[in-house]
Amino acid sequence: MKTLRIPRPIVIASLVALMVPIVLFAPKAYAESYVAGQFGATFPQSLSNGKVTQDGFGGLGLSDQPLQRSALLGAKFGHYFAKARWLGVEAGLSYTTPHLKQGSITFSGPGGSTPSPILSGLHHRVITLDTDVIFRYPGYRLQPYFGIGPSILMARLRGSDGATGQSSTALGFNAEGGVQYYITRQWTFFGEAKYTRARMNYSSAHSDENADPFAFRATYSVLALSVGIGYHF
C-alpha cells in the first residue's frame, strides 16, 4: 500500500497560514503598566440614612438630601502582571462636585417629625482615592475589564460665606467595569462605569452651635460614567 506523502513546502506553508491569525490575535505576553486620564459625569443618589451628630442635637434623623449631577475629572495608574495577563492592580484619583440642592429637610425623633424652612443649597466637593484589583480579557485590541476595591473619600460641605463648613474622610468601596481598545500598542481609548459607596461623617464643627451646615452622618453613593485615554508601557 502506498502512503500519501505531502511535500515539505506545502506543510510549511500550511503551518505558517495556521499560525498567522494566532499570532495576530494572541494576548500580550509581557507585563504592562499604564497611566490614564479621564473625564465624565457623576449621577449621585441622595444622601440617605442621615443622623444629626451636632452637639445638643444628636439622635435626630434626617430626610434624604438630594445631590446635583456633576462633571468628573480623574487619573489612574495601573499594572498588569506578566504571569497572569488577566490580572492587575490600579490606583485612581477623581474629583467631582455633587452640590446639595436647595430644599427643606425633615428632622425626626421620638417626639415626631418637623420640616425645616427652605434651606439654600450647599457646595459639596468630593475627592476619591481608589485602589482596585482589575480583571480583564487580555485580547489583542478590544479588552473588557472589571475591578473592585476600597476607596478613601475626602468630602467638604460649605454653606454661607464665612462659615466653617464641614468635612469628612471616610472609607468606602467601589466597583467598576469598562472596555478599552488598543489604538496602537501603547495608546488605548476606554469607556468606564464606576459605582462608589461610603458612610460619610460631616463632623468638623460639633461644638459650634452656629455651624453651617450642622454636623451629620449620611450614606453617599454615586455612579460615574467616563471616557479616557491611556498610555501603556
Q: Considering the domain boundaries, does residue 223 fall inside one?
A: yes
pTM for this one? Answer: 0.81
Instruction: Give me the pLDDT at residue 14, please.
Output: 47
Number of structural domains, the chain? 1
Q: Considering the domain boundaries, does residue 173 fall inside one?
A: yes
Instruction: Give me the pLDDT at residue 96, please.
Output: 98
Q: Which domain covers residue 174, as residue numbers?
A: 29-232
Cβ atoms of 182 and 208 within 8 Å: the answer is no
The one-character DSSP state at 3 is: P
Residue type, 24: L
Strand ranges (E), 45-165: 48-52, 61-62, 70-80, 87-96, 106-109, 112-115, 123-136, 142-158
User: What Rg value do the Cα atoms of the chain yield, rounded?
Assistant: 26
Instruction: Give me the pLDDT at residue 229, please.
Output: 98
User: What separation in angstroms does the CA of 203 have from each of 8, 24, 160, 232?
Assistant: 80, 57, 17, 41
Instruction: Give me the pLDDT at residue 230, please.
Output: 97
User: What separation in angstroms does the CA of 83 have from each of 38, 87, 88, 181, 224?
Assistant: 28, 9, 11, 22, 32
Q: Considering the domain boundaries, does residue 19 fall inside one?
A: no
Q: Considering the domain boundaries, does residue 17 fall inside one?
A: no
Q: Considering the domain boundaries, does residue 10 fall inside one?
A: no
Please report, for the domain that includes residue 54, its CATH number: 2.40.160.20
Q: Considering the domain boundaries, does residue 11 fall inside one?
A: no
Return d(Cα 73, Cα 137) in angstroms, integer. Answer: 26
Helix (H) or strand (E) holding 22, with range, is: helix 8-24
Q: Considering the domain boundaries, does residue 212 fall inside one?
A: yes
Q: Considering the domain boundaries, does residue 65 fall inside one?
A: yes
The tens place of each residue's pLDDT in the chain, 233 residues long, gives: 444 455 555 445 444 444 444 434 444 446 799 999 999 999 999 999 999 888 777 678 888 999 999 999 999 999 999 989 999 999 999 999 999 998 888 888 887 778 777 777 889 999 999 999 999 998 789 999 999 999 999 999 887 665 667 889 999 999 999 999 999 999 999 999 999 999 999 876 556 655 667 788 999 999 999 999 999 99
